[in-house]
Chain A
Amino acid sequence: MNMQCEQFEQILEQRDEGALPKPALAHLETCEACRALSADFGAIHDMALELGHDEIAPPERVWISLRNQLEAERLILEPQAAPRSASRASSGWWSVLQHPAVAGAFLGLVLAAASTVGYLSNFAQTSVHSQLAFQQESSPVPAADSVFKEEVLTVGSDSIPGLQRQDTAVTASIRRNMQIVDNFIAICEKSVREQPDNQMAREYLYGAYQQKAELLATAMNRSMPGGLQ
């Protein structure tokens, strides 16, 4: 029986460092989508290996929340114990996401997706809060945007993960702009609370969320050994 894409994805996700089994290789021969997926995973894995292991790991609760959300959205298929530290996470694809730079990029992508989904799904809603409440009632895990709001977007200007540059001007710039974006988020949230059907205010709020995610990714990226890489 030929392997299906879902089975292939499961094998790919669970693979450590070894070669793919023959059925998976055979599936790769015939499935362009899985070839692309495999290539993407390989590129991310290689990039993560190059990043070293001396970054500051984000709090474990971030990974637990993200993992729960990714499982709920079937982006990863089988539960795995949340890694306790970057040094212990040497196997499995989940370890890739423990590296701040990769995680930052990933967070940005997922946040963008969450924003889009949130934007579209909110279109007919009259309240952000009622929509989030509905999602939380119908799902055992919080919605993606609430995860990011609680775990990532609340990263303050004093605790930017991985930001350990010695270039004080750059550090100051990032912190200053983080405060600007935080202020915008607070102002937009206030507007959305006051006028739940104000589509413009909601668009600005999501825009501010995206800016924060991008700023965090930039901060982490600029903190990699060697600075600009």
Chain B
Amino acid sequence: MAGFILAASPAHADRIEKHFPVQSKPKIMVRNSSGRIQVKAWTKNEVLVAWTNATGKSVVQTEAAGNRVEVSTQADVNGITADDSKTDFEITVPVESELSVRTDSGNVTVDSVHGDMTFDTVGANLQLSDVDGYMVVKTIDGSLLCTRCSGKLEANSISGNVQMIAPTLDSVRVQTSSGNILFDGSFLSRGIYIMKNFSGTIEVHFSSSDSFDVNANSLKGDVINQATFKPDTHGTPHPASKWGHGFIGTMNEGHAKVELSSFSGTIKILKRD
């Protein structure tokens, strides 16, 4: 039976903690309108939720049922401002956990969690480090910094930047309208990497040992390329688009597939130092 707890924060900024015993691979859902959300992993089979609400004008509601833990904030009184409802969370979860985070503003950081994750934000910036799983990010103008991420990443933003640093991702689908995209890592064999924006810069770094097919095209912008590609010899020949600037080619055996496209932004394919 589901446990259901309502806990009104006191008027001063006390830290409140709740512990939820779970089994392996719990699912943790967090909904917060404003405030920092920090998620980190530990080896215990327990979820620790700690929060601070400076004004005491929001209520934190928690619910635990088996392997599912839900945390959400609600305004305690009508008409409160974002600052009033700001609630900061520190959540510690088992390494193997699923996450679902929905927030408007305030930064979200996730460290060393392995499991599928979804993030839905308006302006909140998202920082993922050493995570592994299928990650789905939807934001309006929040940025995403993914450091040493593994698995699969889908990210969609309007004006946020997306950076992937030292990733070991085998599937990347990133789209932003006016933001910049940076991929600084290796293209894994059989990996598929699709990066698209409207304006802004798409920058990918490669090493000479990388093996990938590439199709890069910017309709109104430039493509800057430091790689030496040979013609794509895999399957059906794809003629380069007659519109815009770009090329199609293969580096080494072409094991990975890389598609880079922009409407008016610049695409840079740069050699890693």
Contacts and interface: CB of A to CB of B under 8 A. Distances in A.
A228 B158 contact: no
Nearest to B102: A228
Contacts of B33: 167, 227-228
Contact of A226 (B75, B105, B261): B75
Main secondary structure of the interface of B (DSSP, over half): loop
A114 interface: no
Interface stretch (B4-12, B77-85, B248-256): B77-85
Given A198-B243, A218-B122, A228-B33, A181 B158 contact: yes
Given A180-B159, A228-B33, A204 B81 contact: no
A168 B263 contact: no
Interface in B146-186: 158-159, 177-178
B48 interface: no
Interface stretch (A38-46, A54-62, A82-90, A170-178): A170-178
Contacts of A204: 198, 219, 263
B103 interface: yes
Contacts of A139: none
Q: How large, as a class, is the contact surface on chain B?
A: 20 to 34
Contact of A211 (B79, B122, B158, B244): B158
B88 interface: no
B197 to A, nearest CB: 10
Nearest to B104: A170
A222 interface: yes
B141 interface: yes
Contact of A173 (B32, B80, B140, B241): B140
A218 to B, nearest CB: 7
B52 interface: no
Nearest to B178: A180
B104 A200 contact: no
A208 interface: yes
Given A222-B104, A227-B33, A174 B244 contact: no
A116 interface: no
Count chain A CB atoms within 10 A of each CB in B34, B75, B103, B263 and give the residue with the most. B263
A184 interface: yes
Interface string B212-228: 00000101100000000
Nearest to A172: B123
A181 B122 contact: no
B195 to A, nearest CB: 14
Given A167-B34, A170-B105, A228 B72 contact: yes
A124 interface: no
A202 B81 CA distance: 41
A19 interface: no
A225 to B, nearest CB: 9
Interface string B20-42: 00000000000111100000000
A200 B122 contact: no
A218 B103 CA distance: 12
Nearest to B199: A184
Given A167-B105, A170-B104, A187-B264, 17 more contacts: A166-B82, A167-B82, A169-B104, A169-B123, A170-B105, A170-B122, A184-B198, A191-B220, A198-B219, A200-B241, A200-B244, A204-B263, A215-B158, A227-B33, A227-B104, A228-B102, A228-B104
20 contacts: A166-B82, A169-B104, A170-B105, A170-B123, A173-B122, A176-B141, A176-B159, A177-B140, A177-B141, A181-B158, A187-B263, A191-B219, A191-B220, A195-B243, A198-B219, A200-B217, A215-B158, A228-B31, A228-B72, A228-B104
Closest 4 CB pairs of A and B: A167-B82, A177-B158, A173-B123, A228-B31
